[in-house]
C-alpha cells in the first residue's frame, strides 16, 4: 500500500545506498528543509483563504470569489502583491533588529515543526522530549515579537509587543499544564509514544472529564499564545493600528503573517496529537472490525482532518467573540484558567494513579 | 575532523561571537538579543551532546524566562534607542584582566586534573538520559537521589511566590 | 463556599454565553441561504435594494406632467449643506390672483449626503428619495440637476 511512510523509507534507503553517510544525511536535511518551506507556503495560501472564506460565511457574506474558481487563487494574488511591494525600513528604526525580527519569528515556527508527526512514521525527529521541546521552543516566538516592537521605534509597536509578551508568558502556563495532564496519562513526552498510547481510543474520550477540561483550556491558551482574536491585543486594530508589525511592509510583513498562520497550524497539530490521537484513526476499545474499517483511511488524512477541524474551531472563535481588554485577558488567565488547570492536573494525576481511565 | 566536530566548532564560534557582541554592544536592547543568541547556542551545544532535556530546560529557563524578563525591564526603564555611555578605561582593563585570569584558571584546572578530560572509553558510557530516568532520580530517596534538594528548592520557590503575592496584594480599604 | 459558588457560576454563565454566540455564527456558517451579499455587476437585472436605501432626490411627476411642489423652499432651508436651490416665479391664475410658484428646482447631487432631511421637511410630499445609485459621470457639471421636468406645473389643489 502506498503511504508516506513507504515513500520516505525508500528515499532514505536510496540515498544511503548511493552516497556516503555524511552526504546522505546532508541531502536528507536539505530535502526535509525544502519540504518544510513548501509546507509553509502551502499552509499560508490555504489557511489565509480558509480564514477569509470562513469569516465571510459566518458574517453572511460570500468572501473572495473573483480570482480563480470560487476565489481559490485570491491568496496567490495577494502574495504576488506583497512580493511586489517595497520593504520599507523606517528611519529611526534599529535596522539590524528590524530586519532580523521576521526571520526570527519564522525560524521559530520552523523549529516547532520538528517533532510533529504528520502521518504514520512521518516525523522529522522523534525527539525524546517531544512536547517539552515544543513548549520550550514556542516560548522563543515572543522574542521575535518583542524585537519587532522595539526595533520599529514606534509607540504602537512597542505597546503591542509588550502586550503580546505579557500574554504569551502568562498563557504558556496553562498550555503547559494542559500538556502535562496528558503526559501524566501517557508517562512519556515522546510524540510517537503519546500517539501509540491512543491506539484504543483518543485521550479526549479515554481521560474522562479532566481530559476534556484540559482540552478546552489548551485550546483557549494556544489561541492566546498565537495572538488570535479574541486575544489579539498585540495587534488590536482599533487601538494600535497593527501592533508590533505596524511598520512592516512587503515581504517582511508577509513573513509575520505567514508565521501567524503556521503557528496556528502547529498548535492545532499538537492539540490533535495530544487529545485526538494525531494520525491515529478513530479506534474504540476492542471493536476490531470497526478499528480495521477505520484503518483504511490513510493516517495522513486523519491527521490533516483533525488539525483542520481544530483550526476551524479557532477561526470560529475569532469570528464570534469580541476582543478582551488587557485586564480581562490577564484575569482570565490568572484567576480562571490557571487555578482550574492546576486543580484539573490533580484530578488527572489521581485518575492516572488509580488507573480509572480506559 | 568529522561532521560532528565541525558542528561543535560552528556552535562554539557562534556562542563566543555572540557573547563578545553582547558585552561590546553600545545598545542595551541589542545586548539582550546577543545574550539570547549566546544562550540559544549553549542550548544547541546541549543538543549536540545528546542531553535534550537539559537543552530544553536551558531554552525554557534562560531564553524564554530570563531574557524575556531582561527585555521587559529594558522596555520599562530605558530610553528607547539611546546608546549607552562608553565605560571607563580603567573598568575595561580590569574586566578584561578578570576574564583572562578566569580563562587561565579554567585551563589550569582542566590540565591539572586529567580526570575531567574525556577519555576514549567515556564515549561508550551513555547514561540513561530519558526523561523518566531523570524524574525518578530527582524524586528518589536512595543514595544518589535528589529528593532533599528538590524539596528544599520547592520550599524556596514557594516562599518566593508567597512573597510576591504579599507584595503585589492591595490591602482593602478599611482594614489597615 | 459562597465565593466558590459565584466563581463556578461565573464560569458556567461565561461558557454558556460564549456557546450561544458560537451557535449563531455556526448557524450562519452552515446555512448558505442566509447570505445577503449581492454580486452587483452580475445581478443588475434581478438586484434588490433595501426599501430604505437612498440614492438621490427626485421630484414626483404624474402622467399629466404635474408635480406637488409649491416652491415653499422648506427643503432648501432644511438642507444642511446647500444642495437645493429653488427659484420661484409669480404666476397669475386665470381668475387674476397672483401666486408664487416653482420655476426651477436645482439639485446639486455632488453636495448631497442623502440625509433625507429635505424629504422630511416637504409639506406636500413633492420630492422623495430614489434608489438609483449609479451616479458616475465624466463631467462634474452633469451632477447639477433640474428636478422639475420642463413644462411641468403644480397639480391642482395642492397648496
Give a yes or no: residue B86 inside a domain: no
Q: How far apart are CA A254 and CA A197, in angstroms?
A: 39
Same domain, C24 and C67: no
Residues spanned by the domain of B62? 1-79
Nearest Cα residue to A225 out of A293, A330, A141, A115: A141
Predicted confidence at residue B156, as pLDDT, reads 94
Same domain, C65 and C39: no
Q: How far apart are CA A327 and CA A147, in angstroms?
A: 24
Task: Report residue A190: phi and psi, to 5°.
Answer: -70, 130
Q: Which position has the grid cell 490533580?
A: A346
> Average model confidence (pLDDT) for chain B?
80
Report the CATH number at residue B35: 1.20.120.1200
Predicted confidence at residue A138, as pLDDT, reads 83
Same domain, A151 and A113: yes
Structural contact between residues A101 and A151, judged by C-beta atoms closer than 8 angstroms: yes
Predicted confidence at residue B174, as pLDDT, reads 63
Spatial neighbors of A71 by CB under 8 A, at least 6 apart, are A49, A52, A53, A63, A64, A65
Same domain, C83 and C131: yes
Of chain B, the end-to-end C-alpha distance in Å amounts to: 71
Same domain, A236 and A293: yes
Nearest Cα residue to B65 out of C127, A102, C50, A176: A176
Give a yes or no: residue B103 inside a domain: no
Give a yes or no: residue B84 inside a domain: no
Same domain, A291 and A320: yes
Predicted confidence at residue B157, as pLDDT, reads 92
> How many CB atoms lie under 10 A from the CB of residue C149?
13
Q: Mark which residues 21-50 of A lie under 8 Å from B by CB.
A: 22, 25
The answer to whether residue B159 scores a pLDDT higher than 90 is: yes
Predicted confidence at residue A358, as pLDDT, reads 65
The answer to whether residue B121 scores a pLDDT higher than 70 is: no
**C16 at interface of A, judged by CB pairs closer than 8 A:** no
Q: How far apart are CA B131 and CA A185, in angstroms?
A: 15
Residues spanned by the domain of C15? 2-43
Structural contact between residues A163 and A178, judged by C-beta atoms closer than 8 angstroms: no
Give a yes or no: residue C49 inside a domain: no
How many structural domains does chain C have?
A: 2
β-pairing verdict for C153-154 and C66-67 = parallel
The answer to whether residue B102 scores a pLDDT higher than 90 is: yes
Measure the CA angle with vertex A178, ends A234 and A206; round to 5°. Answer: 140
Kindly state the percentage of chain B with pLDDT values over 70: 84
> How many CB atoms lie under 10 A from the CB of residue A284?
13
The answer to whether residue C58 scores a pLDDT higher than 80 is: yes
- A265 or B52: which leads in pLDDT: A265
Q: How far apart are CA A213 and CA B59, in angstroms?
A: 28
Q: Which residues of chain B does A189 touch, with a Cβ-Cβ cutoff of 8 Å? A: 131
DSSP letters, C52-106, are T---EEEE---TTSEE------HHHHH-TT--EEEEEEEEE-TTS-EEEEEEEEE
Residues of chain A with pLDDT under 50: none
How many structural domains does chain A have?
A: 2
Q: Mark which residues 63-82 of B lie under 8 Å from A by CB.
A: 63-65, 67-68, 71-72, 74-75, 80-81
- When pLDDT is averaged across residues C124-130 and rounded to a whole number, the result is 85
Helix (H) or strand (E) holding A117: strand A117-119
Measure the CA angle with vertex C144, ends C142 and C148; round to 5°. Answer: 115
Q: Between chain A and chain C, how many beta carbons pairs sit less than 8 Å apart? A: 36
Of chain A, the end-to-end C-alpha distance in Å amounts to: 32
Of chain C, the end-to-end C-alpha distance in Å amounts to: 77
Choose the closest CB to A321 out of C11, C21, C32: C21
Same domain, A45 and A172: no
Report the CATH number at residue C121: 3.30.70.3270
Same domain, B74 and B134: no
Same domain, A122 and A161: yes
Q: How far apart are CA A134 and CA A117, in angstroms?
A: 12
Give partners of A (≥3 CB pairs < 8 A).
B, C
Cα A71 versus chain centre, distance: 25
Choose the closest CB to A136 out of B56, B67, B132: B56
Give a yes or no: residue C140 inside a domain: yes
Same domain, C90 and C34: no
Nearest Cα residue to A140 out of B14, B37, B63, B70: B63
Task: Report residue C38: phi and psi, to 5°.
Answer: -110, 130
- B41 or A242: which leads in pLDDT: B41
**A136 at interface of B, judged by CB pairs closer than 8 A:** yes
ipTM over 0.90: no
CA distance A139 to chain B (A): 5
- pLDDT interval class at C88 (50, 70, 90): confident
What tens digit of pLDDT does each residue of C136-159 get?
A: 889 888 888 888 888 777 777 776
Predicted confidence at residue B109, as pLDDT, reads 85
Residues spanned by the domain of A109? 87-354
Amino acid at each position: 500500500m502506498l503511504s508516506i511512510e513507504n515513500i520516505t523509507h525508500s528515499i532514505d534507503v536510496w540515498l544511503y545506498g548511493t552516497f556516503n553517510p555524511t552526504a546522505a544525511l546532508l541531502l536528507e536535511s536539505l530535502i526535509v528543509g525544502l519540504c518544510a518551506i513548501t509546507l509553509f507556503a502551502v499552509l499560508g495560501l490555504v489557511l489565509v483563504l480558509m480564514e477569509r472564506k470562513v469569516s465571510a460565511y459566518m458574517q453572511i457574506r460570500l468572501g473572495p470569489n473573483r480570482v480563480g474558481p470560487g476565489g481559490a487563487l485570491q491568496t496567490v494574488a495577494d502574495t504576488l502583491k506583497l512580493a511586489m511591494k517595497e520593504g520599507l525600513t523606517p528611519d529611526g528604526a534599529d535596522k539590524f533588529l528590524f530586519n532580523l525580527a521576521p526571520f526570527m519569528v519564522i525560524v521559530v515556527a520552523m523549529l516547532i515543526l520538528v517533532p510533529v508527526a504528520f502521518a504514520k512514521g512521518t516525523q522529522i525527529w522523534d525527539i525524546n522530549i517531544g512536547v517539552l521541546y515544543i513548549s520550550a521552543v514556542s516560548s522563543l516566538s515572543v522574542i521575535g515579537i518583542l524585537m519587532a516592537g522595539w526595533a520599529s521605534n514606534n509607540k504602537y509597536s512597542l505597546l503591542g509587543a509588550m502586550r503580546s509578551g505579557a500574554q504569551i508568558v502568562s498563557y504558556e502556563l496553562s498550555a503547559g499544564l494542559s500538556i502535562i495532564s496528558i503526559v501524566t496519562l501517557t508517562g512519556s513526552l515522546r510524540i510517537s509514544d503519546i500517539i501509540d498510547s491512543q491506539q484504543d481510543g483518543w485521550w479526549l474520550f479515554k481521560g474522562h472529564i479532566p481530559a476534556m477540561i484540559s482540552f478546552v483550556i489548551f485550546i483557549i491558551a494556544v489561541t492566546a499564545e498565537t495572538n488570535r482574536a479574541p486575544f489579539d491585543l498585540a495587534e488590536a486594530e482599533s487601538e494600535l493600528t497593527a501592533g508590533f508589525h505596524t511598520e512592516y511592509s512587503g515581504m517582511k510583513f508577509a513573513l509575520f503573517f505567514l508565521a501567524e498562520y503556521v503557528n496556528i497550524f502547529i498548535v492545532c497539530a499538537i492539540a490533535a496529537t495530544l487529545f485526538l490521537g494525531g494520525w491515529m484513526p478513530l479506534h474504540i476499545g476492542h471493536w476490531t472490525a470497526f478499528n480495521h474499517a477505520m484503518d483504511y483511511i490513510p493516517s495522513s488524512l486523519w491527521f490533516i482532518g483533525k488539525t483542520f477541524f481544530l483550526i476551524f474551531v479557532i477561526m470560529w472563535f475569532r469570528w464570534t467573540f469580541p476582543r478582551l481588554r488587557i485586564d480581562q485577558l490577564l484575569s482570565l488567565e490568572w484567576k480562571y484558567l490557571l487555578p482550574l488547570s492546576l486543580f484539573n492536573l490533580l484530578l488527572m494525576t489521581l485518575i492516572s494513579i488509580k488507573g480509572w481511565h480506559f | 575532523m568529522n561532521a560532528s566536530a565541525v558542528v561543535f566548532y560552528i556552535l562554539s564560534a557562534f556562542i563566543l561571537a555572540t557573547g563578545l557582541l553582547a558585552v561590546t554592544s553600545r545598545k542595551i536592547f541589542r545586548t539582550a538579543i546577543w545574550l539570547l543568541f549566546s544562550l540559544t547556542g549553549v542550548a544547541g551545544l546541549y543538543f549536540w551532546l545528546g542531553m535534550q532535556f537539559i537543552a530544553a530546560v536551558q531554552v525554557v529557563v534562560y531564553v524564554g524566562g530570563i531574557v524575556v524578563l531582561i527585555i521587559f525591564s529594558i522596555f520599562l526603564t530605558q530610553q528607547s534607542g539611546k546608546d549607552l555611555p562608553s565605560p571607563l578605561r580603567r573598568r575595561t582593563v580590569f574586566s578584561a584582566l578578570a576574564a583572562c585570569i578566569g580563562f587561565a584558571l579554567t585551563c589550569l584546572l582542566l590540565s591539572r586534573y586529567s580526570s575531567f578530560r574525556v577519555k576514549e572509553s567515556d564515549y561508550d558510557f551513555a547514561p540513561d538520559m530519558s526523561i523518566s530516568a531523570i524524574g525518578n532520580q530527582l524524586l528518589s530517596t536512595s543514595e544518589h537521589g535528589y529528593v532533599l534538594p528538590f524539596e528544599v528548592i520547592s520550599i524556596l520557590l514557594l516562599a518566593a511566590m508567597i512573597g510576591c503575592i504579599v507584595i503585589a496584594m492591595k490591602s482593602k480599604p478599611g482594614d489597615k | 463556599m459562597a465565593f466558590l459558588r459565584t466563581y463556578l457560576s461565573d464560569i458556567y454563565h461565561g461558557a454558556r454565553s460564549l456557546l450561544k454566540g458560537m451557535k449563531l455564527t455556526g448557524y450562519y456558517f452552515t446555512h448558505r441561504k442566509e447570505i445577503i451579499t449581492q454580486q452587483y455587476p452580475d445581478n443588475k437585472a434581478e438586484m434588490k435594494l433595501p426599501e430604505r436605501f437612498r440614492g438621490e432626490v427626485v421630484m414626483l411627476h404624474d402622467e399629466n406632467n404635474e408635480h406637488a411642489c409649491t416652491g415653499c423652499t422648506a427643503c432648501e432651508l432644511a438642507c444642511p449643506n446647500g444642495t437645493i436651490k429653488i427659484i420661484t416665479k409669480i404666476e397669475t391664475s386665470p381668475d387674476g390672483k397672483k401666486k408664487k410658484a416653482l420655476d426651477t428646482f436645482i439639485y446639486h447631487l455632488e453636495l448631497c449626503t442623502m440625509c433625507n432631511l429635505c424629504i422630511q421637511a416637504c409639506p406636500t410630499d413633492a420630492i422623495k428619495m430614489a434608489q438609483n445609485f449609479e451616479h458616475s459621470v465624466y463631467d462634474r457639471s452633469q451632477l447639477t440637476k433640474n428636478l422639475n421636468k420642463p413644462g411641468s406645473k403644480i397639480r391642482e389643489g395642492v397648496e
